[in-house]
Structure formats: C-alpha cells, structure tokens
Amino acid sequence: MDNITHSLVGVALADLAMGRRGTKAQRPLFVGGGIIAANLPDLDVAYSWITPPPIGYLLHHRGHTHTVLGLAALALVLVFAYRLLPSVRGMRVSGHVRFWLLIAIGLASHLALDSLNSYGVHPFYPIDNEWYFGDAVFILEPSLWLGLVPAAAWNGRTRAAPLAAALAMALLLCTIALTREVPLDSVAGLAIGAVFLAWITRRLSPPVRAAAALAVFLMIVAGFVGTSRLARGAVVEALSPELRGQLVDVILSPNPSSPLCWSVIAVELREADGAYVLWRGTLSLQPAWKAPTGCASHKFLGPRAARIVGDGRLALRDVVHQPLQRLRALADRDCWVRAWLRFGRAPVVEGNSLFDLRFSERPGREFTAMRLTAREGCPPYVPNWGMPRADLLR
C-alpha cells in the first residue's frame, strides 16, 4: 500500500489512542508515533542494495520487516527509542498503555494493508515461507483516503488544518485525474464524498471522528475484498471454454477507485503440451454499465484489439504461450533465475530477458526485468521465500 494511506491510518489510530484524555500537547507525540509505526516496515528498502538489482528490491522489499517476527523486532526498537523521550517516560500508566498499543497496531496495520494487493507478503516466515496475495485493493487507492483526510483535518485542532487538508486533497485528486488512471466521474465522486464526510463529522469529538473514519476505511476495504471474490469467479467462468489445461492462478488488481473494473492475469498449466499460458485482459463486473474496453487498465495497454469473452465481461488483450521446459531448465541451471523465481508470479521469458507480467503494463514502470546473461557466482543474501510459481516447476 502507498505511504500516504499508511500515514493517514497512523494519524487516525493516534487520535483514537489518545481518546478524550489526551491533551493538545500530547498529539504531536501520538501522531508522530502512529505515522512512524505505520510506515516503519518499509525500512527494508534501505538495505535492498545488499543483493544486486533487480533481485535486491524484489526480494528484500516486503521482506523480513514485513513478517510477524520482523514487526516484533521493530516494536522493540521503537520501545527502546521512545523510552529515551522524557515526554514518554513521564506518562501515566494509562498513557503508556495507549501509546504502546498505538505502536503495535500501527505496525500491524502496515502488514495487513500490504497483504491486500497483488504484490503479496509472507507474514509467517520462517514457519511458513509462502507468499499470500490479497488481490483485492490497488496499491495506490484514493478511495481509502475518503474518511481519513477529513478526520485528520478536523483533528488537527488548528484553523489552518482543514484548509491545508482540503488543498492537499484537491491537489492529489487533480494529479490523479491528469494521469487518467482514475476516471473523472470517480474523481468527482471522491471529492463530493470527502466534502460530505467532512461536513457530517465536523462536530464530533476527535476520537469519535477518528473511529468513524477508520470504520469508513474498513467498509471500503471490505467492499473491495468482496468484489475481488466476485471478480475471481467471473474470470474462471469466462475463461473456462478457452482452457485446455489446469488454471493454477488468477491474479487480480482493481482499477483505482473503479471496483467494477479489474486487471486480470490468469495462469494456465498445459502439462500435456509442455507449456503454460498467461491470459491477460480487463474484466468488467457490469459490462452493461461499463464495457471492459472502457476501463482505465484496458486503455493503458494501448490501442491493440481485444477479444471479448464471457458474455462481454472479459476483454483479452494478450495470450502469452511459454515453454515449460525452458523455464524449468533456466531454474535448474541459473541461480539468478532461481532467486528471481522467489518473487515472480507471472514469469515471461522474452528474448534475453525475464520479467513479471504483473508489472509490465505501463511503459517505463518495469522494475522486474532481469537480463539472462552469464554471471559469475550467485546473488548474495537471497531470502528463502517460497516460489509463487512452484506449481510450474515441479
């Protein structure tokens, strides 16, 4: 999840933890603690250089600091760091309880939110080194800010805070609208929703307002999770007549603020043919309202013609056939490929390059590509994550 969302959740958790007993002087301490705890697991980016690119970023980001054990270690670091502050040492017992609960929940919120998208996490390592993919929420989802921004603005307790928050929200929405990743009607809906929530929560106390914002946040997340299950079923139904082998995975990502539209990659294993097939396209849960070819994720893939399947719900843009033996041979003889396969969920070998189809939809945003050239030795410090596509390598 993006750091804006993590930070806003940290602020709301801080206001909730302060409760009615918290003072204006304590708020910077609680808000700072909430923001730091909600973002600290991304510290792993700072040491991703210990393994050469692209392996370092792929395997160390969302790595050890994104596990339950890693969160416990980060919590201990924060406990020792904050104990050095006189303002923390001078708290009453109830203040200590609320502050340390804030730190614990803020850290846990990061892992929970990161588990919701198609990038994945492996929270139970070293007991379980498998990846878990939520496939439910886009990594930068503006609708999650809907209740959090007004709550942070009103709880700022200064006259300038609501105006500053409104300007920041307007700037973010305008920037998103210019990228065309979110339709203008969705941007307008988000703006109207934020103004409405700001108006109806203006007279609430800070902790109640924060609780209401978090409740709206959780309802939106639950809506995406439920819609993801519907999208998965729709993809399986639409592709069933096309399949000649076993469907081993369906990778989903909703369009930002457009829960009717979903980016889709389905992975089919054709063992008898010695191949695996990646079906990529865009799904619309309600094609009568919005055709899949009208979804933002379809438009970003360029003007290539699409084949409509599944009663008009799924627009297929690419059907990528890959030889199984080639992938297995690369995994057997090349330790760099084996390391890469501890991340890759939709592997494609094209020319002299290996990349993950999940992240190749936007020109210039491909960060998973690795050249298949002879190298001396193996990449150092490769964590023992499970291989998402072990089902193709057996």
What pLDDT is stored for residue 113 in this prediction? Answer: 97
What pTM, to 2 d.p., does this model score?
0.93
DSSP category for residue 387 = P
For the chain, how long is the longest CA-to-CA vector? 70
* H/E stretch holding 391: helix 390-393
pLDDT at 166: 72
Is 349 found in the same domain as 276?
yes
Residues 217, 133 share a domain = yes
Provide the pLDDT confidence category of residue 364 given band limits of 50, 70 and 90. very low
Res 156: pLDDT: 82
Contact present, 257 and 182 (Cβ < 8 Å): yes
Q: State the pLDDT confidence band at 374, using cuts at 50, 70 and 90.
A: confident
Across 187-225, b (16+ Cβ under 10 Å) vs e yields beebbebbeebbeebeebebbbbbbbbbebbeebbeebe
Q: Looking at the structure, do residues 301 and 269 belong to the same domain, yes or no?
A: yes
Q: Are residues 153 and 289 in the same domain?
A: no
User: In the prediction, which pLDDT does 186 show?
Assistant: 82
Q: Which of 166-175, 191-200, 247-256 has the highest mean pLDDT?
A: 247-256
What's the pLDDT score for residue 121? Answer: 97
Q: What is the average per-residue pLDDT within 209-223?
A: 96
Helix axes 27-39, 68-82, angle to 10 degrees: 150
Run of H or E including 10: helix 3-18
Reported as type and span, the H/E element at residue 267 is: strand 258-270
Residue-wise pLDDT tens digits, 13-40: 999 999 877 677 788 999 999 999 999 9
Cis-peptide into 53, omega within 30 deg: no
Choose between 90 and 71: higher pLDDT.
71
User: Does 272 lie in the same domain as 174?
Assistant: no
Residue 202 has pLDDT above 60, yes or no: yes
- Give mean pLDDT, residues 141-159: 86
Is the per-residue pLDDT at 101 higher than 90?
yes
Same domain, 102 and 191: yes
Q: Which two tokens stand for residue 373?
A: 């050239």
Stretch 133-143: mean pLDDT, rounded?
A: 94
Same domain flag for 171 and 311: no
Query: Which tokens hold the place of 4?
Result: 């804006």
**DSSP SS3 for 376:** coil
Domain termination site, one of 226, 259, 283: 226
Nearest-Å Rg of the Cα atoms of the chain is 23
pLDDT of residue 82: 94
Select from 226, 250, 265 the last residue of a domain. 226
Domain that holds residue 357: 232-393
For residue 314, the surrounding DSSP H or E stretch is strand 314-323
Per-residue pLDDT band for 194 (boundaries 50, 70, 90) equals confident
The reply to whether 106 and 50 lie within a common domain is: yes
Q: Is the pLDDT of residue 363 over 60?
A: no
Give the chain's mean pLDDT: 91
Are 357 and 322 in the same domain?
A: yes
**169 in the same domain as 24:** yes
The mean-pLDDT minimum among 130-134, 195-199, 205-209, 345-349 falls in 195-199
pLDDT at 105: 98
DSSP 388: T
Q: Determine the residue type at 88.
A: V
Tell me what the mean pLDDT of segment 65-81 comes to: 97
271 in the same domain as 208 = no
Q: How many domains does the chain have?
A: 2
Residues 182, 277: one domain? no
Residues 196-204, mean pLDDT to the nearest whole number = 90
Report whether pLDDT(316) > 70.
yes
Lowest mean pLDDT among 137-151, 274-288, 301-315, 332-346: 301-315
pLDDT score of 370 more than 80: yes
Q: Which amino acid is at 108?
A: A
Tell me the β-bridge partners of 356: 347
20-34, 116-130, 378-392: which range is least confident on average? 20-34
Last residue of one domain, picked from the residues 180, 207, 226: 226
